[in-house]
Chains A and B, each alone.
Chain A
Amino acid sequence: MDTLLTAEVAANSPRFRRRSSTFVDAIHDLPEKEEMAPAQLYSTESGRLFHSGRIVIVTVGLPARGKTHISVAVARYLRWLGVKTHVFHLGDYRRATLGPGKDVPDDYFFVNASPSSVLLRNKILKKCREDIYNFLEHENGQVAIYDAVNAIAAGRRSLAREFAKHGIQTLFIESQCNNERIIEENVRSVKISSPDYIGWSEADAVKDYLTRIASRIPHFETMEEMELHWIKLINAGERVLVNKCAFGYLSQRIVFYLLNLHIKSRRTYFARAGTTTTEDSYKADASLSPEGEDYAQKMGETLIQHREAERQALIDRGGPNDALKSLTIWTSTRRRTIETSHYLASKGYRVRQRSQMSQMNPGVCERLSEKRIREKYPEEVAKHEQDPYHHRYPRAESYHDLAVRLEPIILELERENNDLLIIAHESVLRVLYGYLMACNAQDIPKLDFPRNEIIEIIPASYNNSAKRIHIPDLPEQLIPGSPEDISIPVPPSNMPSGTQSGAISPFTGIGTPKMQGTPRLTPMHTPTPSIHVAPNVALDSLGITNTAPLPVGAGATATSVPSDLVERVSERVERPAKGPGGGPGTAYSGGGPPGHEAGTPPPQPLRIMETNVDPNS
């Protein structure tokens, strides 16, 4: 029965997914095989790091205080560093035990609950704890995050005692909030999407939800247990109290991360820089071309329109008639990223230059054509094809180097309260996207950011999602990848040649001479309109496509799992064709094991470009 229950948990939880793909936040996936995490500095035999032992992080706080968000964010950061971390949301176990559509009895959270409620409570807790122990003791897990209310001091003490018996440290993280606005915003963005509130106005739903919390969880004791290890975050990190947390490297590192975290909801947008006048290279720092200027303006306009439309949609749904959240723009210190922000700066948006966001150093590959690199460094090219994430060309940086160097940016990204537009080189966007969407290291070099799209990352408490915002009316030659990009796109397998997108390599002069006919991997899925299924995301008319949907039928192998929760087996989704000669956008599922290794891959072109390369070479 219990093993079945675990399957149920998976089945009833939209965030339990069996496979990772780069266009869906993979934070709840358990890695299938041992591999280095994107910012992992070294690996150990035990699989655990820093001699920090095993830790259970226990969240404490009333609903709508951002506990789940904190759990997921901490997991995201620790996994990025290579610490084996998994989040156990008690709510998932509750829902799985009760079955769909059923709610817990009214006295479920009461201290003096009825015997039947206590039994139910214990049953749910037992299963969750068993999974935690299993993860820490048999799956090389190092940090388990136990996401629940944990309202009573006595309960927390006994939790810590119980884990201590197993040689596991317990670290409590309480989120305390006395700012009504933050709570209401949280309720609105996270809690009222449940079926209970279909047909309610948002304002009423928020009110009802808060009343229900107050009556159902009447007892809550804030953490004052001086003998326990705890961190108390007050009002989204305005103030942080730390009690006895100097028991290990990891606990301190978690505090460090939490100092930069807040629980307010905000969006991140990624955009490429415009194209430049003269030949572009790493060392030369050229200004934007007229086309680049045009791009900067169109990108800025599209973003402004998009944000305004989203705000209108929120008001239409009964949300508050608030001003838009401010937008801050970060660029690197390279001219073309700064100049790409000029249009928006002229509209009064604040721009910050961040020196750490400079692109990957191409080393000896600077201004060499792919052909020349293959001639000069055949061994390096072979190594690069083996491991494009970790390999670095002589004097160059690898993606791994970049990920490690971007640590300050990642923490600043968490810290930013405003909506944020990041204009940077594609290599930087890949790594930041990889962090926010919990991509595998090996997928990061393959992420693709065409210039005619702004990528929007929308945080939700369980996972982030990504959207593409189409920038209309751009000349095709602007779209492809960066000229000095060092990446080897691995073409998807089983791709009928007819469906290869003509939009991908429409122009062979400036960007990607070798890209002709090579399908590109997309970081996110751009579905055809017929398969939108996500219930809570408003679509609008700006060419915005939703990301939640699943290609019909793809990977429907587990019969016990509801069809709308089936994870795509395929990791590779073709972009819909926009240019001439392309077929319709096609989601495909690899017939064999997932991943690009199936089938016979076509030759892998090296995408190191230079502007003066003969397009026919």
Chain B
Amino acid sequence: MAVNGVYKPDMNRVPTGEFFLPSRRTNGFGVQAEDTKICVIMVGLPARGKSLIAQKVVRYLHWLSIKAKIFNVGQYRRTATPNPTAEFFDTSNSEGEKLRMAAAEAAVSDMCRYFANGEGLIAILDATNSTKARRRWVQERCRSEGIETLYVESKCDEESTIMSNILEVKTTSPDYVGQDPEVAAQDFRNRIRNYEKVYQTIDEDESDMTYVKLIDVGQRVIINQIQDYLQSRVVYYLMNLHIRPRSIWLSRHGESKYNLEGKIGGDADISDRGELYAKALPGLVKKSVGDNRKLTVWTSTLKRTIQTARFLEFEKLEWKALDELDSGVCDGLTYAEIEERYPDDFKQRDEDKYNYRYLGGESYRDVVIRLEPIIMELERSENILIVTHQAILRCIYAYFMNVPQERSPWMEVPLHTLIKLTPKAYSTQEERLKADIPAVSTFREKGSSAKHQ
């Protein structure tokens, strides 16, 4: 993996072998806790960030180990009508109307099956659901299946937000694959106009329903009839979201003296090569961020991240929550020493790295819990650069890239590399910028004791 002393990253690499799956919610005797089934129903005109929101909610829930799935009505519709024009969405077009209803039917049926099979706790119905009649229909379908409903309306009249969404959709939406962007944008505007003719916002008539209405990107929020904790948790997350374009940059600290010695944890200074990275970082950031963009730098409270970020001329915040995973009694040891002194622990950690908790320290699961404020703040903020540690970065990266929890602790996160993540409606884009400064590898493969290079 190291070529000429330069470490080559492979963050998406997945180790093979059996993974310990998260514990099931039974007690082993068939006693099953009552679980709520919630259908989150998106409501709103096109280009209001519905798909982006749906995708984020699913990622967030996965990150919390709650199974969730999106049912995108558009995808069902596309199987019959792959590249429809705006006329298709005209309500006076009875053929289009019929096909769209059939797509909604198919999506809702699949969703009911998903719940019936116990595949998850939350489903997200991603469609415009722009009329009261359509919402009532979904409501009735869910009620007959014992599924709770939570309507999420994104209402936004801010021209600039809508425009940036249109720009994005015309380039990324499957409906406009291979089309001239200008033509696509015009068609998309016409499509929105057709929806506007029939659009009914959620109002007093629907006060019996559970809903949250996000007005102008969370400036105002109306929340009605929340029924349980899980719904409130989703609403809490939604309130922190915005749909303006932004990016997040992630970097590990520069190589530390402990890295050189192969020790984990501690609060060591950065090495000479780490110092080089710290000096190179402002240029790297400038190249990736561009000029005139407001950026805030977050570091942990440990020396190696603060030292790494110290040449960056942006506002900086230190977060205790970004400190490295606490390795308890193993703090300051090398992997070889851990294997020697705590052989059972070493083995157990390999078996279930996500849940394994160092003696007197933390597990990845613990870290995810303490990162909750960080994730919420990240969602609320715009452009953020985070300089932090390997385990923490894995967790944050896993959140944005939807990496399953049994895999995230095994991802390689190279030193001296700047990662840029840009959330888009259908996925998160990733770019990497490598500073050409050699560093040791701190990656330990499953089952090895990682003699550090």
Q: Which residues does A use to contact B, with CB under 8 Å? A: 41-44, 49-51, 237-246, 249, 252-253, 255-256, 259-260, 285, 333-335, 338, 352-355, 358, 394-395, 404, 408, 411-412, 415
Q: Tell me the smallest distance from the CB of A287 to a CB of chain B, in Å.
A: 10
Residue on B nearest A404 in the bound complex, by CB: B369
Contact A242 B29 (CB under 8 A): no
Contact B222 A246 (CB under 8 A): no
Contact B377 A333 (CB under 8 A): no
> Which residues 178-209 in B have Cβ within 8 Å of A in the complex?
207
A-B pairs with lowest CB-CB distance, top 5? A355-B33, A256-B236, A242-B221, A259-B232, A240-B223
A44-B320, A51-B319, A243-B220 known; 10 new pairs, CB 8 Å cut-off, are A41-B321, A41-B370, A237-B226, A241-B222, A259-B226, A260-B229, A285-B28, A285-B31, A333-B31, A408-B229
Contact A354 B232 (CB under 8 A): no
The answer to whether residues A239 and B31 also contact, given A42-B320, A252-B376 and a CB cut-off of 8 A, is no
The answer to whether residues A255 and B370 also contact, given A42-B320, A355-B33 and a CB cut-off of 8 A, is no
Contact B229 A285 (CB under 8 A): no
Residue on B nearest A41 in the bound complex, by CB: B370
Interface hub of A252, A285, A394, A412 (most chain B Cβ within 10 A): A252
The answer to whether residues A238 and B225 also contact, given A42-B370, A285-B27, A333-B33 and a CB cut-off of 8 A, is yes
Q: Tell me the smallest distance from the CB of A250 to a CB of chain B, in Å.
A: 9
Residue in contact with B207 in the complex, picked from A43, A239, A252, A285, CB distance below 8 Å: A239
Residue on B nearest A354 in the bound complex, by CB: B33
- Residues in B with CB closer than 8 Å to A237 are 226
Residue in contact with A50 in the complex, picked from B207, B225, B357, B373, CB distance below 8 Å: B373
Residue in contact with A411 in the complex, picked from B28, B229, B380, CB distance below 8 Å: B229
Interface hub of A51, A259, A335 (most chain B Cβ within 10 A): A259
Contact B236 A259 (CB under 8 A): yes
Residue in contact with A260 in the complex, picked from B31, B232, B319, B377, CB distance below 8 Å: B232
Instruction: Tell me, in angstroms, the Cα distance from A278 to B376 when the chains sit together.
Output: 47
Q: Tell me the smallest distance from the CB of A387 to a CB of chain B, in Å.
A: 11
Contact B218 A246 (CB under 8 A): yes
Instruction: Tell me, in angstroms, the Cα distance from A352 to B369 when the chains sit together.
Output: 26
- Residues in B with CB closer than 8 Å to A285 are 27-29, 31
Q: Tell me the smallest distance from the CB of B209 to a CB of chain A, in Å.
A: 11
Contact B220 A241 (CB under 8 A): yes
B239 within 8 A of A: yes
- Residues in B with CB closer than 8 Å to A245 are 221, 239
- Residues in A with CB closer than 8 Å to B18 are none
Q: Tell me the smallest distance from the CB of B211 to a CB of chain A, in Å.
A: 10
Contact A238 B224 (CB under 8 A): yes
Q: Tell me the smallest distance from the CB of B323 to a CB of chain A, in Å.
A: 8
- Residues in B with CB closer than 8 Å to A242 are 220-223, 239
B228 within 8 A of A: yes
22 contacts between A and B (CB under 8 A): A42-B370, A44-B320, A237-B226, A240-B224, A241-B222, A241-B223, A242-B239, A245-B221, A245-B239, A246-B218, A249-B376, A249-B380, A253-B376, A255-B221, A255-B236, A256-B235, A259-B236, A260-B229, A333-B27, A353-B31, A354-B33, A411-B229
Contact B377 A256 (CB under 8 A): no
Instruction: Tell me, in angstroms, the Cα distance from A325 to B218 when the chains sit together.
Output: 37
B80 within 8 A of A: no
The answer to whether residues A240 and B222 also contact, given A246-B380, A255-B239, A334-B27 and a CB cut-off of 8 A, is yes
The answer to whether residues A244 and B223 also contact, given A41-B369, A50-B377, A249-B380 and a CB cut-off of 8 A, is no
- Residues in A with CB closer than 8 Å to B225 are 238-239
B433 within 8 A of A: no
- Residues in A with CB closer than 8 Å to B116 are none
Q: Tell me the smallest distance from the CB of A454 to a CB of chain B, in Å.
A: 23
Instruction: Tell me, in angstroms, the Cα distance from A334 to B222 when the chains sit together.
Output: 39
- Residues in B with CB closer than 8 Å to A354 are 33-34
The answer to whether residues A252 and B240 also contact, given A244-B220, A353-B34, A415-B228 and a CB cut-off of 8 A, is yes
B359 within 8 A of A: yes
Contact B27 A51 (CB under 8 A): no
Instruction: Tell me, in angstroms, the Cα distance from A546 to B258 when the chains sit together.
Output: 60
Contact B236 A252 (CB under 8 A): yes
Contact A249 B359 (CB under 8 A): no
Instruction: Tell me, in angstroms, the Cα distance from A616 to B54 when the chains sit together.
Output: 62
> Which residues 303-340 in B have Cβ within 8 Å of A in the complex?
317, 319-321, 323
Instruction: Tell me, in angstroms, the Cα distance from A26 to B301 when the chains sit together.
Output: 32
